[in-house]
Structure 1
Amino acid sequence: MKTRFIALFLTAGLLSIGQAGARSLTLEECRQAAVGHNRTLQDARFDLEAALQTRHEALTNYFPQISASGGAFQAQHGLVQADFGLTIPQMGTMNLPISMVKRGMFGCVTAVQPVFAGLKIVNGNKLACLGEEVGQLQVRKTEGEVREQTDTYYWQIVALKDNLSTIGAVERQLAEIHRQVELSVKAGLVTTNDLLRVELRQQEVASNRLKVENGLKVMKLLLAQYIGVDWHGFDVAAADWSEPEAPGACYVPVEEAVDRRVEYQLAEKNVEAQRYQTRMERGKRLPTVGVGAGYLYYNMTEKDVDDGMVFAQVSVPISAWWGGAHALKKARIREDLAENDRLQAREMLAVEIEKSWSDLQEAYAQIVLARRSVDSATENLRENRNFYQAGTAPLTDLLDAETLYTQSRNNLTSAFAAYRTAMARYMRVTGR
């Protein structure tokens, strides 16, 4: 609970930052704000609070069950009707009608302490405690998913901002090319077709800028809503990803990672819950024993009468065994089903972890290849610019070289973002 208050306090601080536009948010600040604000995570916390109340409710079954009842009545005729035979000497026997209990009041209070209830109370409390543990695991699972999604939004924004930087560099290059071609046209060295080609390329780049700016705005809106900050003036801090860490340092063996996964722990809890359900089903067929005490008051004949009592009660559900054997077999089948689901979950989680590791390695390899492409495209652009300025290469070769350079830079940016996203996913699927 203390951690939750800290997260909410941090979220409030970030809200004021977003409204004032004082500074951009780092990735860690975005993560903490998401943990404190995210709606899905709040729902998981509410479920945990409900499970806690269920555990408290189950605990009260150990206490005595106290009940009170009372009432009053007014009858049209006496509830006790009888004939009283009276013998009088010299007159014989006469029957006299008697009517009694025409009105009255009554009340009682009883307290019953369960001594043995077929272990239903014990197993019910264990099941309630298990439900609270499941709620805690669900919160952990949701926190991991929220962090991963926050990382995805964050790195997409960083990638789009880097794309804008590339577009800005290309626009400056095209502006210089346009200036040179325009001078050449005025000097009669080239035709206006070359100038039109440059202008068409400039319009294409301007169109790409609009698309990237619109995508950047949408991604900022999504992240701002996800972490709970005001999107007006909201931005993320600049991130340096020129030298990302190699994935080897974060590798975890598959079996160890599976044991860490919340999903596998939830599957184990499901097996345990089904075992308690089987015990609860068996307990329905066992006798129940209780002891109690009570107080009784009534006034039926214009006289107050009260008395105390102690008692013991035993209940044996004999007819419950007719269908109970089948219900117990059904509970055992569900227990076997839960165990089968646990084994399947372990196998599928192992496959997911292996795939995430392969994707992470592939994403890192793509960065290496994309960086080589950028180096080659940069050199190609430099040579074609020199050739064009020397008059030994046409304008089309220079524009093609500029296009290849832009594509290689964007591919490198996408590779960086894909690697960061793959890293966030691998950390989640390995239980970290």
Structure 2
Amino acid sequence: MKCFVFLVLGLGSMLNLNGQMRLTLEESKAMALENNGNVKNSRLELDAAWETKKEAFTNYFPKISASAFGMKAMDPLLEIGMKGGDLPVYDGTPANLANPLQYAYMPDVNIGLFNQMALGIVNIQQPLYAGSKIKTGNRLAELNIEVKEMQRKLSENDIILKTEQQYWQVIVIQEKQKTVDSYLDFLDRLHNQVNNAYENGLTIRNDLLKVSIKQQELKVTKIQLENGKKLALMQLCQTIGLEYRPTLLLEGNLEELSLPDSYYIPTGDALPNRAEYQLLEKSVDATGLQKKMQNGNYLPTLGVGISGYYLDQLESGVDGTFNGLAFASLTIPISDWWGGNHKLKELRIRESMAKNNLEENKGLLRLQMEKAWVDLNEAYDKIQLTKSILEQTTENLRVNQDSYDNGLIQLSDLLEARALKAETEDKLIEAKNRYKLAVTDYLLLTAR
């Protein structure tokens, strides 16, 4: 709900009075995190892990089961036969008990039982000890939640970096469009100057053609930039989950650059906060818990419980019977240890491998952060160097303009000086973009 309110307010602030949408980098990242499919799936994975944890917790409680059974046999399951014959009849005189005077004939009797019946059973069993498997299973479920949380963070980092790359790519094209427009303004003024000189017989037609050709080349470049901006903007909109709008304005500014030192953090302080490092630690923990869980399979299990049943033979005039019992059960695995010992050794080996991976990748993660810091400083130095070159090319253009106005150099020299300045301006735009991305990369790699 908070994200929804934020997006509604954010979208409202993006629209100006003319209905034109403005978008900042922070708004773009927020929308990408809210709408990206991979990020959504990583959050659903986390929700699923929580449900798994809740399921594991239920193993602490008694297990209750109920079953019912009904049957009708073709022949009785139990038959009882009684031999018939003459049976003495008591006439009420005690003296005749030993030597009865009367007899009654009893034929043979066959009784069939369990020809049909219904049986209901309820069983309740509480585990008392299960080789620590219940406790270990719950810890594994908790560990799974921690792992999914870190994976969610990594997914968010990926989409943040992707969004920034695409956002600044649009800004770079916009800045290059400004450079081309400035270049075209220069050529328009130069074209008028050369045309006046040509009409007054002070220059040849070839000079006028050189300016016209350069104007046409820049117009082609301008069209290419417009198409490139459209595609870059469409890509950004797809990433952040926004419908493409040709009039969408990005409010990024390549001029706002902070010194690299303002972002620095020692690698030792940043390493424990890296999701990748934490995942390596959790991998070691997971192998230890798996070993403990496997060991629990070879330990005794103890439980207590109660059972009750109701039996009805479905005979007319015969009531059903109910009975119950309490019990305790103890299971001791014996032959499982023959193969289980090797399985435990395998898990110990895998635990050692996980520890080795942790130590190996710890160094690689440190190296990765150090390289990101070097790249950040290098990108900043490139900006300063390119700025210095731009000052020189600007001064060179001014000198060439004065020299051309005084008839000291040819038109081609002036055009070359202006092209050199435009090329340096483009390099400066690219250098600023690389620095922006280097800042983002360094902050992500230092868990910020």
Pick the TM interval, shorter chain.
Answer: over 0.9
Displacement of 1:35 after TM fit?
Answer: 2.3
With over 3 angstroms needed to count, the CA separation of the structure-2 counterparts of 1:232 and 1:167, relative to structure 1, is same
Which of residues 3, 7, 10 is equivalent to 1:7? Answer: 3
Q: How does 1:206-221 map to 2 (within 5 A)?
A: 206-221=219-234
Displacement of 1:132 after TM fit?
Answer: 0.9
RMSD of aligned alpha carbons:
2.1
Q: Distance in 1 between matches of 2:439 and 2:314?
A: 85
Which residue identity lines up with residue 424 of structure 1 in the other structure? T
**Contact 1:294–1:308 (CA<8 Å) still a contact in 2?**
yes
Aligned twin of 2:290: 277
Q: How does 1:19-168 map to 2 (within 5 A)?
A: 21-86=19-84, 88=86, 96-168=109-181
1:256-275 deviation per Cα after TM superposition (whole angstroms, max 9, x unaligned): 22122110011101111111
Q: Does 1:266 align with 2:279?
A: yes
User: More displaced, 342-351 or 300-309?
Assistant: 300-309
1:283-304 deviation per Cα after TM superposition (whole angstroms, max 9, x unaligned): 0111111111122001137330
1:4-57 deviation per Cα after TM superposition (whole angstroms, max 9, x unaligned): x32233234445666884441222222222222222211111110010101001
Which of residues 418, 421, 427 is equivalent to 1:411? Answer: 427
Q: How does 1:151-230 map to 2 (within 5 A)?
A: 151-230=164-243
User: More displaced, 91-100 or 153-162?
Assistant: 91-100
**Contact 2:118–2:314 (CA<8 Å) still a contact in 1?**
no
Displacement of 1:392 after TM fit?
Answer: 1.1
Q: How does 1:187-336 map to 2 (within 5 A)?
A: 187-233=200-246, 235-242=248-255, 244-300=257-313, 302=315, 303-336=319-352
Q: Distance in 1 between matches of 2:73 and 2:219?
A: 95
Displacement of 1:71 after TM fit?
Answer: 1.4
Displacement of 1:96 after TM fit?
Answer: 4.7
Q: Distance in 2 between matches of 1:237 and 1:322?
A: 68
Which of residues 411, 418, 421 is equivalent to 1:395? Answer: 411
Displacement of 1:336 after TM fit?
Answer: 1.4
Q: Distance in 2 between matches of 1:301 and 1:380?
A: 112
Which of residues 350, 363, 376 is equivalent to 2:379? Answer: 363
**Contact 2:369–2:445 (CA<8 Å) still a contact in 1?**
yes
**Contact 2:303–2:330 (CA<8 Å) still a contact in 1?**
yes
% identical aligned pairs? 35
Which of residues 388, 394, 416 is equivalent to 1:378? Answer: 394
Q: Distance in 2 between matches of 1:159 and 1:71?
A: 76
With over 3 angstroms needed to count, the CA separation of the structure-2 counterparts of 1:22 and 1:408, relative to structure 1, is same
Displacement of 1:85 after TM fit?
Answer: 3.5
**Contact 1:31–1:147 (CA<8 Å) still a contact in 2?**
yes
**Contact 1:18–1:234 (CA<8 Å) still a contact in 2?**
no
Q: Distance in 1 between matches of 2:49 and 2:72?
A: 48
Q: Which has the larger radius of gyration?
A: 2
Displacement of 1:188 after TM fit?
Answer: 2.1
Q: Distance in 2 between matches of 1:314 and 1:53?
A: 31
Q: Distance in 2 between matches of 1:87 and 1:315?
A: 54
Which sections of structure 2, spanning at least 5 residues, go unmatched? 88-102
Aligned twin of 1:350: 366
Q: Distance in 1 between matches of 2:250 and 2:68?
A: 71
Q: Distance in 1 between matches of 2:247 and 2:29?
A: 15
**Contact 1:19–1:233 (CA<8 Å) still a contact in 2?**
no
**Contact 2:383–2:431 (CA<8 Å) still a contact in 1?**
yes
Could you tell me the TM-score, scaled by structure 2's length?
Answer: 0.90
SS in 1 for 2:423: helix
Q: Distance in 2 between matches of 1:143 and 1:387?
A: 56
Displacement of 1:94 after TM fit?
Answer: 8.3
User: More displaced, 89-98 or 168-177?
Assistant: 89-98
**Contact 1:74–1:103 (CA<8 Å) still a contact in 2?**
yes
Aligned pair count reads: 428
Which residue identity lines up with residue 198 of structure 2 in the other structure? V
Q: Distance in 1 between matches of 2:246 and 2:13?
A: 9
User: More displaced, 247-256 or 283-292?
Assistant: 247-256
**Contact 2:15–2:21 (CA<8 Å) still a contact in 1?**
no
Which residue identity lines up with residue 247 of structure 1 in the other structure? P
1:216-256 deviation per Cα after TM superposition (whole angstroms, max 9, x unaligned): 11221122222222221453443443352110121111222
Displacement of 1:348 after TM fit?
Answer: 1.2
Q: Distance in 1 between matches of 2:298 and 2:220?
A: 75
SS in 1 for 2:405: helix
Which residue identity lines up with residue 317 of structure 1 in the other structure? P
With over 3 angstroms needed to count, the CA separation of the structure-2 counterparts of 1:286 and 1:87, relative to structure 1, is farther
With over 3 angstroms needed to count, the CA separation of the structure-2 counterparts of 1:243 and 1:32, relative to structure 1, is closer
Q: Distance in 2 between matches of 1:341 and 1:393?
A: 67
Q: Distance in 2 between matches of 1:11 and 1:265?
A: 31
**Contact 1:291–1:312 (CA<8 Å) still a contact in 2?**
yes
**Contact 1:7–1:35 (CA<8 Å) still a contact in 2?**
no
**Contact 2:15–2:22 (CA<8 Å) still a contact in 1?**
no
Q: Distance in 2 between matches of 1:373 and 1:6?
A: 48
SS in 2 for 1:78: coil
Which residue identity lines up with residue 422 of structure 1 in the other structure? A
Displacement of 1:377 after TM fit?
Answer: 1.0
